[in-house]
Amino acid sequence: MPSRNKISLFEGVDRVAICCYFLLVLVGFVNIISASYNDEMEVLAFGQNYIKQIVWTAAAFCIGLFILLLDSRFYHMYAYYAYGAGILMLIAVLIFGKEVNGAKAWFEFGAVRIQPVEFAKIATALAVARLMSNYSFSIKKPSHLFHVGFIILLPLAIIILQNDTGSGVVLCSFIFVLYREGLNKWICIPLIMVATLFICSFLFTPMLLLLLLLFIFTLSNAMMIGEWKMHLTFVTSLCFLALLLYGLSLLFWQGALSGYACLVIATLTGVVVAGIYAVRKNIAAIFLTLALFIGSMVFVPTADMIFESILKPHQRERILSFLGIVSDPSGADYNVNQSKIAIGSGGLFGKGFMEGTQIKYNFVPEKHTDFIFCTVGEEWGFLGAMLVLGLLCTLILRLMQMGERQQEPFSRIYSYCVAAILLFHVLVNVGMTIGLMPVMGIPLPFLSYGGSSLVAFTILVFIAIRLDATPRKGLVSNI
């Protein structure tokens, strides 16, 4: 009797996922031809992007077939080895790599470039799945959660050192996997608050932000422990105390205290009072909101320092442009403006294959890589764009379904890691082309030109398909 894991090549394989994969690769290849070709080029010259993409596509197909042939236990057994190799590649490219567009993230071998970060995502997904599938692992234990965080943050830190922050941020998508596996929501909330406060610090004055934080703090406590009248009296008293301090400052101290300083003093007084009340009443919920509130107060003044010292100038420009704080039509805003023009001009049915004027006359930069969705929108219109998004969403949902039907936690967690990575890429890439997200240099899965991304996404998806096929030997795939 054959081994449980040794199945024929396509037995138990999810056909819907395979079909979505092949259709997306085909659509990507057609649009790369349209974005790259012009009448002055030699059609079959190897230097053409679409000819190179044929080679990479063939290599990706061969690798995908090889993955289906491997024993499924191989991926669990060598997950940590793959992670170690991925970290070594990231360090090596940081030392010996070639700088492209300001990021030292590429190995160059003649005419071939390899971007290790794409393969580091696979290694990280495998390592996270391996660690979290251990019998003794519990996401509720701080030490175990620390180990998962270390596995995710180590490659992220190295990628940031390569000045390729956009690619590194993709690893943050694993937060969705952790939440699916039982991560406490109270750990997720501070992370969401940090991101929200960072953005709000550019949109609102410190005074308004502090008032909003005070309101949220009071509202959350009132919802958890009741006593609405007491909380309304509390926040009213703080505002009255702040006004009183400001009046005294004007009368006796020549306005030495600004309105913001008075509000901060009144708020800190309120924090002390709330802490004493929580101790006397033994209400643990208030301690949690107090910690979040104090942390938020400390973080808001430092947001500017983080913005200026950590982010690169072009990253700062993209964020400020995205938030509408600055306008630079010929600089940071140019790509997005031309992208929206291209997509909008496609209308319902599009202009047709190789008929897109914004694409043909090079108004859209990176039209075959990061902004490939513009080519889809202009030449195939709204319907074509919806078809592409429909295929991507179907593949992502299918991966999540694969995860849910797995009996082994390793396969489930890995499938969700792949779904999270693809979802993040789609949301950010499509969002930046239509102006809903800041510009980050990440590709649209299976559509954007590039051998590293195509091969890496193929490996990601086909490992999930292979893991899903093993326990379904002899069963008919539910399509």
Average pLDDT over residues 143-165: 88
- Whether residue 6 is predicted with pLDDT greater than 60 in this model: the reply is no
Please give the pLDDT value at position 5: 45
Check residue 9 and give its pLDDT: 61
Cα 391 to Cα 384: distance, rounded to the nearest angstrom? 11
pLDDT at position 417: 94
pLDDT surpassing 90 at residue 88: yes
* Residue entry with tokens 């909003």: 212
- For residue 19, what pLDDT is reported? 93
pLDDT at residue 281 is higher than 80 = no
Q: Which comes out higher in pLDDT, residue 103 or 474?
A: 103
Residue 473: pLDDT over 60: no
What average pLDDT does this structure show over 359-381? 83
Q: Is pLDDT larger for residue 446 or for residue 316?
A: 446
| Tens digits of residue pLDDT in 218-250 | 666 666 666 666 667 767 777 777 777 767 777
Which pair of structure tokens corresponds to residue 354? 């190789």
Question: Which residue type sits at 442?
Answer: I
CA angle 428, 432, 437 (to 5 degrees): 70
CA 121 to CA 158: how far, in whole Å? 13
**Mean pLDDT value of segment 141-168:** 87
pLDDT tens digit sequence for 56-87:
999 999 999 999 888 888 899 999 999 999 99
Report whether pLDDT(1) > 60.
no
pLDDT at 236: 74
**Distance of alpha carbon 263 from alpha carbon 245, whole angstroms:** 8
pLDDT tens-digit map of 160-174: 888 887 888 889 889
For residue 150, what pLDDT is reported? Answer: 92
d(Cα 29, Cα 38) in Å, to the nearest integer? 16
DSSP secondary structure letters along 229-263: HHHHHHHHHHHHHHHHHHHHHHHHSTT-S-HHHHH
> Global pTM?
0.80
Residue 3, pLDDT above cutoff 60: no
> What tokens appear for 299 in the block?
């973080």
For the record, the structure tokens of 91 come out as 């360090």
Q: How confident is the model at residue 96 (pLDDT cuts 50, 70, 90)?
A: confident
Top mean-pLDDT range of 48-52, 132-136, 456-460 = 456-460
3-state secondary structure (DSSP) of residue 95: helix
pLDDT at 479: 37
Instruction: Decide if 427 contacts 440 (C-beta within 8 A).
Output: no
pLDDT at position 21 is: 95
Is pLDDT of 290 > 70?
no
Determine the pLDDT at residue 334. Answer: 74
Angle at the Cα of 213 from the Cα atoms of 211 and 214, rounded to 5 degrees: 65
Q: Residue 54 contacts by C-beta under 8 Å, 6 or more apart in sequence?
A: 29
pLDDT in tens, 380-395: 989 999 999 999 999 9
pLDDT recorded at residue 286:
63
Q: Three-state SS across 284-319?
A: HHHHHHHHHHHHHHHHHHHHHHHHHHCCCHHHHHHH
- Whether the CB-CB separation of 380 and 356 falls below 8 Å is answered with no
> pLDDT digit string (tens) for 304-350?
676 766 677 766 776 766 666 666 665 556 777 888 888 888 888 88
Angle (CA) 356-358-364 rounded to 5° is: 130
pLDDT in tens, 184-196: 776 776 677 777 7
How many C-alpha atoms does 346 have within 13 Å on its Cβ side? 28
pLDDT for the residue numbered 332: 59
Q: Note the pLDDT of residue 338.
A: 83
Q: Buried (b) or exposed (e) across 433-464, using 16+ Cβ within 10 A?
A: bbbebbbbbbbbbbbbbbbbbbbbbbbbbbbb
What pLDDT is stored for residue 458 in this prediction?
95
114 beta partners: 107
Question: For 36-51, what is each residue's pLDDT tens digit?
Answer: 776 665 555 556 777 8
Output the pLDDT for position 287.
63
Report the alpha-carbon distance of residue 230 to residue 251 in Å, rounded.
31
Residue 108's H or E segment, with its range, is strand 103-109
Q: What pLDDT, on the 0 to 100 scale, is given for residue 360?
A: 74
CA angle 395, 388, 362 (to 5 degrees): 135
Q: Which two tokens stand for residue 269?
A: 């007084």
- Band of pLDDT at residue 24, cut at 50, 70 and 90: very high
Pull the structure tokens for residue 211.
């008032």
Reported as half-sphere exposure (CB side, CA atoms, 13 A), residue 430 has a value of: 17
Residue 7 has what pLDDT? Answer: 44
Among candidate residues 114, 128, 156, 172, the one with its CA nearest the CA of residue 454: 114
Mean pLDDT of 6-14: 65
CA distance 168 to 155: 8
The C-alpha angle with vertex 366 and arms to 108 and 45, in degrees rounded to 5, equals 60
Under 8 Å between Cβ of 277 and 286: yes
pLDDT, mean of residues 24-46? 76
Average pLDDT of the chain to the nearest whole number = 79
